[in-house]
Amino acid sequence: MNINNMTDTDIYAYNFDEIIDRHNTNCLKVDLLDERFGSADLIPLWVADMDFRTPKFIVDAIKERCRHEVFGYTFAPDAYYQSILAWLHQKHQWEARKEWISYIPGIVKGIAFALDCFTLPGDKVIIQPPVYHPFRLVPEMQHRQVVDNPLKWVDGVYQMDFEHLESVIDPQCKVFILCSPHNPGGIVWDKETLVRLADICARHHILVISDEIHAEMTYPGHTHHPFPTVSDAASSCSLTFLAPSKTFNIAGIVTSYAVIPDPHIRHKFFAFLRARELDEGTIFAYEATTAAYTHGAKWLQQMLRYVMENVAFVTHYLKEELPAIKVYQPQASFLIWLDCRELGLKQKDLVALFKDQAGLALNNGTMFGAAGEGYMRLNAGCPRAILKQALEQLKTACRRSFPQQ
């Protein structure tokens, strides 16, 4: 099935309305609420995994492997590589090659490995806030200097600020970390933007690490362009990290991989991984990835439809009931960037409104950088009944705090 062709007859083959209790399963989103937020009695809409049941075809593949009852040393089977290659071709028209691919034990870890491999302490790493917080935290913990190239606000949408980027680049700038699609904004970068970024980075000999973990969750009407495919310059200066983990809700099974067309970058990075045995996946990582990419088209199609309906539900509800809070309309993923600036609250008071008064656990916008002031990030990858309850609690809290609105 072509995953870009959604039909009404297929919508309800899977039950995304099912509410599954995740308590006492070592679930980060639920079982660490008290530790992270100071209260366990919150609706968890923060960690970027979904509350939907993992697809049966993945569970069945893992169960079938478990029947063997021996879990010794393993290696990546050819079916694993072929499933990735077929998926990249079907989803992105990317004619990748097997030798370009290596398992990595997590995309954030992959970023850290790449910084270890290609930079030295004191080198500069460019990021585009507001952006996924490990992009800042990882380089800082590795004693690299983080250089901000903030996204600019133009007519109500985020754009890359290339003039500013050129102004902050100096010989110490070695790496640019790209979030594509963008988190938390859900932006699907157009090809022209990526081509221009590649030209700048290639000209200044800056390596682009492209985190594309949300790539498969691009909404119909938008096209995700894997960074190396947009131009020869992009292919020559980048390494790309992907995974089925967000798409198929298997973040607890580490399934990330790198795709690197350029032979010089590939040789250096893959040698770095091999020397530390970081390129060796687990039995279940290989099984889950192969099953997801072989059988996952229909499930993905329907999950995206449900998530898009959730986004529309949140947008409509806020417009009708809480117009001071606005949705930055995502073009991919299940994350919603909420613009709460019209409430006129300081960030600590905004966080308190959501957590202490509404009983909700969302991500504080400032964790994505100073440009996140006045924002909160909401995870809409959950049954709609949960979202409805959360929004009603938020409305009640806002009506108490802002009776005039």
Identify the pLDDT of residue 4: 44
Identify the pLDDT of residue 402: 83
Taken in order 391, 368, 132, 29, the sign of the CA dihedral is negative
Identify the pLDDT of residue 13: 83
Identify the pLDDT of residue 405: 58
pLDDT per residue as tens, the chain (405 positions): 344 444 444 556 899 999 999 999 999 999 999 999 999 999 999 999 999 999 999 999 999 999 999 999 999 999 999 999 999 999 999 999 999 999 999 999 999 999 999 999 999 999 999 999 999 999 999 999 999 999 999 999 999 999 999 999 999 999 999 999 999 999 999 999 999 999 999 999 999 999 999 999 999 999 999 999 999 999 999 999 999 999 999 999 999 999 999 999 999 999 999 999 999 999 999 999 999 999 999 999 999 999 999 999 999 999 999 999 999 999 999 999 999 999 999 999 999 999 999 999 999 999 999 999 999 999 999 999 999 999 999 999 999 988 765
With both helix axes pointing from N to C terminus, report the angle between 297-321 and 384-401 in degrees, rounded to the nearest 10.
20
| 105-118: burial string, b at 16+ Cβ within 10 Å, e else | bbbbbbbbbbbebb
Q: Tell me the two tokens of residue 107.
A: 């995309």
With both helix axes pointing from N to C terminus, report the angle between 263-275 and 107-118 in degrees, rounded to the nearest 10.
110
Other Cβ atoms within 10 Å of 209 Cβ, number: 24
Domains and CATH numbers, the chain: 8-55+297-398 (3.90.1150.10), 72-294 (3.40.640.10)
Whether residue 39 contacts residue 258, with contact meaning beta carbons closer than 8 Å, is answered with no
Identify the pLDDT of residue 269: 98
Long-range contacts of the stretch 270-277 (C-beta < 8 A, 24+)? 270/102, 272/113, 272/116, 272/117, 273/102, 273/104, 273/113
- Alpha-carbon dihedral of residues 148, 364, 347, 138, nearest 10 degrees? -30
Q: Tell me the two tokens of residue 60.
A: 């069945």
Whether residue 337 contacts residue 40, with contact meaning beta carbons closer than 8 Å, is answered with no
Interacting residues of 169 by C-beta distance below 8 A, sequence separation 6+: 126, 200, 204, 206
Looking at 119-190, list the stretches that DSSP marks H as alpha helix, in order from N- to C-terminal side.
Answer: 134-141, 162-168
Give yes or no for a cis peptide into 184 (omega within 30° of 0): yes
| 353-381: burial string, b at 16+ Cβ within 10 Å, e else | bbbebbbbbbbbbbebbebbbbbbbbbbb
**N-terminal to C-terminal alpha carbon distance within the chain:** 48
Interacting residues of 337 by C-beta distance below 8 A, sequence separation 6+: 130, 184, 185, 186, 327, 328, 330, 365, 375, 377
Q: Considering only CA atoms, give the Rg of the chain.
A: 21
Token pair 């917080």 in the structure block, residue: 133
Distances 125 to 34, 91, 170, 198, 368 between C-alpha atoms, Å:
34, 30, 11, 15, 16
Identify the pLDDT of residue 11: 52
CA 145 to chain centre: 23
Interacting residues of 365 by C-beta distance below 8 A, sequence separation 6+: 130, 184, 337, 338, 340, 347, 350, 372, 373, 374, 375, 376, 377
